[in-house]
Structure formats: structure tokens, C-alpha cells
């Protein structure tokens, strides 16, 4: 059995004359948690759907869980759990009815026992007879995760799964993801939250349909070559518009009451900051993943697909 859960080469997808994904190649080992990062419209969802057999690529080749993505999509689907951006189960059914229906779709043996175990494992027992439509975002998310993992898939694909839920629900969700990963499940998750990306073993950054960079968090940050200083002081946030115009300053971001000012030329950046010493405390800090993310977006430039 291949040590790679996903191995795709030059994967592309066009919708009419619009190119959504342009020659993306990924080699993802089994048992890891990978993060898909990128701005809206970067091709993350389209790539995920091609990997799991829901969309046929326009070009490229590859395998998922050892099955050819072009010829064996049905086999891939049965061994994959896919949680979409929006809640995609039945609002007019209870939690138990939703899970029972999904269990029937997968033709799971001992269906009642599997549903009972799933409900208990994810802490849904006291809500099992509640209609899905009455659930909060966090509980809908938990129901969706239960539904896509109850058949014990080898690969779990999560498309912005925590959008719109509170911080505690996000943390609980990620705790469960790592429990599943520790049991051997491979997880690929797209997200816009930097703290979630930092929980991943490896990050793939997409922009304008192309893979821009990939690696561990530290590698991604290092690849930008950014140097970052943090400014603190009374009224320091008001300096942002002026700082953005200075040579050597590539990125200015608010961090609470402080500012993060970044640039790839340390000497030029320090020179730019010398005129802002009165009442301001400057400290060189590690570049954050968010700083790196913004820099990568800026460097990717305008989306050429929009002019084609």
C-alpha cells in the first residue's frame, strides 16, 4: 500500500473558458493533518472535489487512497468523509434520524449500534432527538462531523468546517480532529483561520488556482523572508497609514493595541522606523503566519484568470 494518501500531478480544472485550478500537484502522506490556505476563489474547494472524485479534472492525473481519481471515483468516495462549507444534511430530521439515514446510505452493518456509538462518542446523546434546524452552528458542525466519519473513512476532507462557530466550538472540533488523526485517519482541511493552520502538520498555499508554496508553518514563514517589528505606545495605531507609505515597509497590520510592521529588507525597514521613536516602543518579533499569509497574497498579485 502506498504511503501517500493523495498523490496528484498537474491537476487542472476549467469551467467553460474559466480556469479554476491550474496544474496543482500534491503528495500527502497517510496519517497527517494538512491545511489548505488561500484567499477566496483560490481553487481550494475545486481541488478538494477533484481529489475525492466529485469533480472530473480537465487535465492531470493522480490517485487518492490508492485509487485512480479519473477511473475509480466510486471507490474513493466510499473511503472518504467530506464535510462541506455549508451544513449539508437534513434540517427537518433529528440528529439520530440524520445519522441513521447516512448509515443506510453507506449500508453499514449493525446500523443501530453504529449510530448509538457515534452519538455517544461525539457527545450528542442529550440532543439526539432534536431537529437539526434547531441546532446552533457549533452543534450542526458536530453533527456533520459525526455523519462524515461514522463509516470510519481513511481520508477526511474538511472545507472551511469551522466558519461561523464560536472559539470554544472551534477548539473542541480541532481536538476531535487530532483524536481521529491519532487513530490513523488522514485529514485535509481548508481554513482561513491562522490558529487552525498552525495546528496542521503541513500547509499548502493556493492563490489564483496555482500552488504558491507548501511546507511546515516555520518553512512557510521563512519562505517569505519577512522581518517584523512590533510597535506599542499611546496612539500607535494612528501611525499605520503613514507607515504603509514608507520605503522598506511592505505590510502593516493591527494586533490588538499594537502594530506589526514587516518588510523583506531589514536595513531598509529599520531605517523607515527611525522617525517614529517618540512615545513608541519597537521590538523585533517573530513573523506570524498571518503576516506571511498577507505577504503571499500581495506577492501573488491580481488574479490573471479574471482577465482571460
Query: Which of 22-26, 84-88, 162-166, 249-253 shows the lowest mean pLDDT across its residues?
Result: 162-166
- Please tell me the distance from the alpha carbon of residue 143 to that of residue 123, in angstroms, as a whole number: 10
Q: In the 8-state DSSP scheme, what is residue 131?
A: B
Q: How confident is the model at residue 276 (pLDDT cuts 50, 70, 90)?
A: confident
Looking at the chain, the domain(s) classified CATH 3.30.70.330 span 226-286
When pLDDT is averaged across residues 15-29 and rounded to a whole number, the result is 93
C-alpha cell at 280: 513608541
Query: Which of 6-20, 25-39, 159-173 shows the lowest mean pLDDT across its residues?
Result: 159-173
CA dihedral 109, 111, 115, 116 (to 10 degrees): -100
In whole angstroms, how far apart are CA 13 and each of 56, 57, 203? 8, 5, 21
CATH topology of domain 226-286: Alpha-Beta Plaits (3.30.70)
Report the pLDDT value the prediction gives residue 291, as an integer from 0 to 100.
87
Nearest by Cα to 202 from 2, 31, 22, 85: 31
CA dihedral 292, 297, 24, 223 (to 10 degrees): -30
Report the pLDDT value the prediction gives residue 2, as an integer from 0 to 100.
63
Report the pLDDT value the prediction gives residue 264, as an integer from 0 to 100.
92
When pLDDT is averaged across residues 40-50 and rounded to a whole number, the result is 90
- Residue 193 predicted with pLDDT over 90: no
Task: Please tell me whether residue 232 adopts helix, strand or coil conformation.
Answer: strand
b/e per residue 62-86 (b: at least 16 CB within 10 A):
bbbbbbebeeebeebbebbbbbbee
* pLDDT tens profile 210-261: 999 999 999 999 999 999 999 998 888 888 999 999 999 998 988 888 889 9
- Residue 17 predicted with pLDDT over 60: yes
User: From the CB of residue 235, how many other CB atoms can be counted at a distance below 10 Å?
Assistant: 9
Nearest by Cα to 29 from 161, 204, 176, 170: 204
Query: Which of 95-99, 169-173, 281-285 shows the lowest mean pLDDT across its residues?
Result: 169-173
C-alpha cell at 125: 446523546
Averaged pLDDT score across all residues of the chain: 89
Report DSSP letters for 148-159, one per residue: HHTT--SEEEEE
- Please tell me the distance from the alpha carbon of residue 114 to that of residue 151, in angstroms, as a whole number: 9
Nearest by Cα to 148 from 48, 62, 71: 48
C-alpha cell at 19: 480556469
Q: By the 8 A CB rule, do 283 and 260 touch?
A: no
Kindly report the CA angle at 138 between 206 and 288, in degrees rounded to 5? Answer: 40
Handedness of CA 264, 192, 54, 124 (dihedral sign): positive
User: From the CB of residue 46, how many other CB atoms can be counted at a distance below 10 Å?
Assistant: 22
Give CATH for domain 4-218. Answer: 3.40.50.300
Give the pTM.
0.86
Q: By the 8 A CB rule, do 287 and 228 touch?
A: yes
- Residue 303 predicted with pLDDT over 80: no
* pLDDT tens profile 200-221: 999 999 999 999 999 999 999 9
Looking at the chain, the domain(s) classified CATH 3.40.50.300 span 4-218
Q: How confident is the model at residue 171 (pLDDT cuts 50, 70, 90)?
A: confident
Amino acid at each position: 500500500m502506498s504511503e501517500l494518501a493523495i498523490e496528484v500531478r498537474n491537476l487542472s480544472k476549467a469551467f467553460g473558458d474559466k480556469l479554476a485550478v491550474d496544474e496543482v500537484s500534491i503528495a500527502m502522506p497517510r496519517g497527517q493533518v494538512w491545511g489548505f490556505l488561500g484567499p477566496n476563489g483560490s481553487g481550494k474547494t475545486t481541488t478538494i472535489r477533484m481529489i475525492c472524485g466529485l469533480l472530473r479534472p480537465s487535465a492531470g492525473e493522480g490517485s487518492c487512497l490508492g485509487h485512480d481519481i479519473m477511473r475509480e471515483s466510486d471507490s474513493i468516495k466510499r473511503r472518504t468523509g467530506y464535510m462541506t462549507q455549508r451544513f449539508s444534511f437534513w434540517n427537518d430530521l433529528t440528529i439520530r434520524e440524520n445519522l441513521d439515514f447516512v448509515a443506510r446510505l453507506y449500508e453499514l452493518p449493525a446500523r443501530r449500534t453504529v449510530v448509538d456509538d457515534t452519538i455517544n462518542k461525539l457527545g450528542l446523546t442529550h440532543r439526539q432527538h432534536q431537529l437539526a434546524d434547531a441546532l446552533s452552528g457549533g452543534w450542526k458542525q458536530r453533527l456533520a462531523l459525526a455523519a462524515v466519519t461514522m463509516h470510519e473513512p481513511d481520508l477526511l476532507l474538511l472545507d472551511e468546517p469551522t466558519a461561523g462557530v464560536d472559539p470554544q466550538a472551534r477548539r473542541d472540533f480541532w481536538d476531535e480532529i487530532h483524536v481521529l488523526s491519532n487513530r490513523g485517519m488522514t485529514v485535509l482541511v481548508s481554513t482561513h483561520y491562522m490558529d487552525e493552520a498552525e495546528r496542521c502538520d503541513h500547509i499548502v498555499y493556493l492563490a489564483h488556482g496555482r500552488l504558491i508554496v507548501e511546507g511546515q508553518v516555520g518553512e512557510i514563514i521563512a519562505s517569505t523572508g519577512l522581518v517584523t517589528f512590533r510597535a506599542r505606545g499611546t496612539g500607535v495605531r494612528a501611525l499605520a497609514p503613514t507607515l504603509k507609505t514608507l520605503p522598506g515597509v511592505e505590510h502593516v497590520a493591527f494586533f490588538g493595541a499594537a502594530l506589526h510592521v514587516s518588510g523583506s529588507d531589514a536595513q531598509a525597514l529599520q531605517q523607515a522606523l527611525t522617525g517614529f521613536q517618540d512615545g513608541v516602543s519597537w521590538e523585533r518579533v517573530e513573523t506570524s503566519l498571518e503576516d506571511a499569509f498577507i505577504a503571499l497574497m500581495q506577492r501573488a498579485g491580481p488574479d490573471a484568470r479574471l482577465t482571460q
